Amino acid sequence: MAEKTLMKGNEALAEAAIRAGCKCFFGYPITPQTEISAYLSKRMPKVGGVFLQAESEVAAINMVYGCAGSGIRCMTSSSSPGISLKTEGISYIAGSDLPCVIINVQRGGPGLGGIQPSQADYWQVTHALGHGDFHAIVFAPASVQEMVDTVTKAFDLADEYRMPAVILADGLLGQMMEPVTFEDTEIKMSDASNKPWAACGHGNKRKHNIINSLYLKPDQLEDNVRARFERYEEIKAKHTEAISDYCEDADTVVVAYGSTARLAKSAVEAARKEGIKVGIVRPVTLWPYPAKEIAEACKNAKNVLCVEMSMGQMVDDVKIAINCSKPVEFYGRTGGIIPKPAEILAKIREMGGKN
Amino acid sequence: MEYKKINIITGHYGSGKTNISVNMALELAGRGEKVTVVDLDIVNPYFRTADFEALFGEHNIQLTVPTYANSNLDIPALGFDMNGIADREGYIIIDVGGDDEGAKALGRYLPVFKKYDTQMLYVINKCRYLTKEPEEALQLMYDIENASGLKCDGIINNTNLGSETDSNIISDSAEYAKAVCEAANLPLVAVTSQKEYLGDTDNAFPVKIYVKKLWEQFGDEQA
């Protein structure tokens, strides 16, 4: 078993990227994710990779676009306002069927907002990460170790389905320290990392590859988008994930993701000790959204509580998941304020066992 | 632990500087000494001594924080009158930001540090990813010295794996700490951990863990 070390979430994401075979990182600093850039600026040159601080987020994402087109594993990271700047590039990357990993260590918004933790980019990442018909695979890890494990998975799935994958963290996850383990084994790239479509020089030995998101004929564009959406169905079937605890006999089920799920789980466990029948289900992927898993977790519940570090952006997805079959209430804090376990517990007590 | 008038706590990000600073301040206050804690962290957006305002208040410990600490203004602005702070009766503990980047903030106060009896203590943690090897810890110490214009006077072995720390981790770190001290030619002034993990370690300085995650704090309150 590999040795455990103490790492800050941002550093762990960066190290995990290197170990996942990421060879190029393009970024622009922004709190609370700057440690990703700082770490990679030191580590990338040592592994023969490229670290480049671009002149802006827009430049960085377009460098990712070019790099991904050449078939190299690449990544960018930012925090909320920076991700907004990247959305045009992300749409082009999706429209060109290119794989890459994008990390968003969320902070408060809208606008320049604040530097404290937030989950107020849920709508953006799941519904509108750029213009046009497309999705990105979205992971919402809840611990530093899970962030490490997710990075490899994100690169592999991005390659396999030729699409952007996003790791949606927040300032709390990025800044906190936890023990982590990295596998000692050599990096095993998935088969999809072999990319016959890449524009990396044909040397007059094969037909040249074209990376493009512009279609001159509307029916070609429609066919392309439809083909992409067929692939999305496969991802939904194979890679949707959620984890539920204490839900079997629960009268109230809490739905929360990311660091908020950690806070909510401590409140759920405290409520259990008080004899309140409450469970928790945590979406691990936000797209594809674990609607079936949430419905299953909530099947015996009388009511559902959605907890978020936002004004309640996931609430409607929970309602759809359970087909509006029972009341869904919300508790959350926003603007960089973290919902405290005691506040969540108070809400659980209020709802516990209510019809 | 031996205190000087001014005690500067420096080290790698996450080595445990803040938790040590809080413990030192509380120990001194417990002895009836007057203490001022200076949060000199200009690199970390959160998890800093400024978070302990209420705890310090209960123990009559004075706290001086950067003007914009824990606000949304993300600028490294320091408006301290360090001379005025050092003129106060009692001890000063300065919690510095991580690495050489954080230590840069010390430079402008050099005249104050030269005027008063000052020590800079370097905190090491064998479980931190980029300072696991004595050579790495030593290189970072030199980087901090270069950035600050000060020389370290002693080493604190604060090896910890967060909530997974145990007595084996502490005993396993002895050799590492010795190697760093010998190479740096500096004394090991303290081994800091929770009392139950320290055993009969020399220079033991038992600490309580104050820097905690919200769910850990909540678990403690519930217990």
Q: Which residues of A touch B215 (CB under 8 A)?
A: 262-263, 265-266, 341
Q: Where are the beta strands (DSSP E) in B111-195?
A: 118-124, 154-157, 188-193
Take residue B190 and report the two structure tokens written for it: 């303290």
Closest CA to A118 of A107, A109, A110: A107
CA distance A298 to A18: 39
Residue A216: pLDDT over 70: yes
pTM exceeds cut of 0.90: yes
What is residue A355's three-state secondary structure? coil
- Look at A81-90, A143-152, A194-203, A311-320 and tell me which has the smallest mean pLDDT: A194-203
**Residues 20-49, chain B, touching A (beta carbon < 8 A):** 44-47
Mean pLDDT for A210-229 is 96
Q: Where in chain A is the domain with CATH 3.40.50.920?
A: 243-351
Q: Do A177 and B14 touch (CB under 8 A)?
A: yes
Residue ranges of chain A that CATH labels 3.40.50.970: 5-239
Residue A221 CA: distances (Å) to CA of A127, A163, A211, A279 = 21, 17, 14, 45
* Residue pair A43/A11 in contact by the 8 Å Cβ criterion: no
User: What one-character DSSP code corresponds to residue B97?
Assistant: P
3-state secondary structure of A4: strand
Task: Please name the residues in contact with B125: beta carbons below 8 A apart, sequence gap of 6 or more.
Answer: A6, B11, B12, B14, B15, B16, B131, B158, B159, B160
A9-55 pLDDT, tens digit each: 999 999 999 999 999 999 999 999 999 999 999 999 999 999 999 99
Q: The domain A5-239: what is its CATH number?
A: 3.40.50.970
Average pLDDT over residues A72-85: 97
* A319-323 contacts, C-beta under 8 A, 24 or more apart: A320/A291, A321/A289, A321/A290, A321/A291, A321/A292, A321/A294, A321/A295, A322/A294, A322/A295, A322/A298, A323/A295
Tokens at A271, concatenated: 């409520």
Contacts of B222 in chain A (CB under 8 A): 270, 273
Please indicate whether, in this complex, the C-beta atoms of B74 and A115 are within 8 angstroms of each other.
yes
Amino acid at A141: P
Would the CB atoms of B164 and A179 count as touching at under 8 Å?
yes
pLDDT in tens, B66-103: 877 777 777 777 878 899 999 999 999 999 999 898 99
- Per-residue pLDDT for A344 more than 60? yes
- Predicted pLDDT of residue A186: 64
- The residue of chain B nearest to residue A178, with distances taken between CA atoms, is B162
Q: Is the pLDDT of residue A353 over 80?
A: no
Q: A243-351 — its CATH code?
A: 3.40.50.920
Provide the ipTM. Answer: 0.90
pLDDT at B66: 83
pLDDT tens digit sequence for A259-303? 999 999 999 999 999 999 999 999 999 999 999 999 999 999 999
Q: From the CA of A107, how many Å to the nearest CA of chain B?
A: 10
Residue B13 has pLDDT above 90, yes or no: no
Task: Quote the mean pLDDT of chain A.
Answer: 95
* Bigger pLDDT: B33 vs A353: B33
pLDDT the model gives residue A188: 67
Report the pLDDT averaged over residues A118-129: 97
Token pair for residue A75? 């990544």
Q: What is the pLDDT of residues B140-176, one digit of tens each?
A: 999 999 999 999 999 999 999 999 999 999 999 999 9
Tokens of residue B129, six digits: 């990813």
Q: Is B14 left (phi over 0), alpha (psi -120 to 50) or beta?
A: left
Confidence class of residue A355 from pLDDT cuts 50, 70 and 90?
Answer: very low
Strand spans (E) along B99-177:
118-124, 154-157
Q: Strand, coil or helix: what is B192?
A: strand
In chain A, residues with a C-beta closer than 8 Å to the C-beta of B218 are 263, 266-267, 270, 340-342
Give the pLDDT confidence of A173-209 residue by residue, as tens digits.
999 999 999 986 666 666 666 899 999 988 899 999 9
